[in-house]
Structure 1
């Protein structure tokens, strides 16, 4: 089995440090990928620090992976050595249940196998290690093709932040002329702005920070509303077809439900640590829909990447070396990044 190098945490209070382990040799259906770039997701931080109380250590985070194919199994037909390839939040599922059959592997009835911190069926009692590593080996069915025209580093966050926002926008049929709100301008929010704009919607960003207005308009917002300003909020009452909420901190979602039209939809993609109170009247008056969304299936993720290739959409990133990742986590907690950290994995080989 090939030796791999990575950065891992070994306890909730541990910083990420160099870690050596073994990847499996490719099976007949596997693709081995040299990782070139890996995005840093807020989920990485939550998991490394066991904030969701489910981390198995040692933990190698990373599920926004872009790289180049180095080996393929004998039954692999979609990839060859030298191809660009990507891996997102999942590396396997049962591939047989009704949800998997409908290309919704993230909702696999037997449990999707996520890219890190999930049971690894290829090892006896082991768990998966993610993309803060020099390589990864994945079932061909969970490997994605990368459009040649996209910047590879800026493509990496599409594998989580991209599909997380693309999927609900597509699911709820956003089209030209629809009025779409985006709550929060961070890693998710900036991608939501880009996608909603590309779908032809009239896009409004809601933020608590007046200083983000110019950047929001550069990213695709037609208007910026300061959510603390009651007059600005009231000017939009009952006018939105769709709102995507990208905020992971505690906040009042009722004020956004009140902005929806009759039968309008508010989708949560942020994951606040504590439950968000919902007033029944915010839903009843106007027959509003409150829903959530979790990444997307493999077919839809490939569709998203192809859409990005056609519209030249990538993430706004700050490139870092691997030994900066602990500082990046601290900055992430302060929302001090525009808008996604991406690790240049050649720094790991130093």
Structure 2
């Protein structure tokens, strides 16, 4: 497991098409940090339809009734399209967990104190968290990113979480998740208070009521849950005149892990790396990009639908069908990591099964 830390303030963002590992940067022509991000989203490559069609054609020839592997066939074809390879691989899956702290936690929106975020980082490092065990089970790498845990973002009911420069820079830092190369990127998070942040993002993007978007998170009930709902309502009301731009929603209502996850999704697209999203918080970060461009998440799979109240509704809005539905709500990339097993099985069947001709089996 790799542990990455440091205050995330690189000055430029990833150049489209840059090789992973080196992550060359380029200066903004306008000087406005978000213009760099908009350019990266606007220039995201599409899938290889040729690779998808070749993969689907192979599926028709494998020793099984047509469509008998159900969703596994679609998953294999999805990876083929986004890796640009009719015989996709999952040899180097990577789980990236972004950890951040939030000023909103001081409002008592969680039954756990903000200090738990740093304590969990030590648990990840010791290899004793749930995600460590799941990654080991499926031979996946794990990188945990410490996003300035000693510096919580401001309380979003009273100010913006980040300024434009810091938000864009943190997105650029998130692009480092693909450094070193992987053929499948799974995204997770850790941060006490960040289901409050995710609910505020969704309320800011889609409207409705705070009650619709707020769930139990780490176990909020009673007065804690009421404080959480009030915090989301107050935050969106405070920023209501600035929520027409999805990137403004991100910087005002988000947090460092949210920005970094969005950056990782963008970078993975440019590097032809399919992405598996974890739970409500990760999906809320992805929703910002979807609001910028409805095709921005086409390379993503939803690893699971969590027990968090609004996650299923959010996945429906984004047109994402979860691979797993196990009532999990842990975060830390656990659901996305668990989905690696299904994705690996889909690819193994696609690559390893014989065709009717190879097996000497008569076709129906």
So what's the TM-score if we normalise by structure 2? 0.27
Structure number with the higher helix fraction is 2
Structure number with the higher strand fraction is 1
So what's the TM-score if we normalise by structure 1? 0.27
Per chain length, whose mean CA-contact separation is higher, i.e. which structure has more relative contact order (CA < 8 Å, sep 6+)? 2
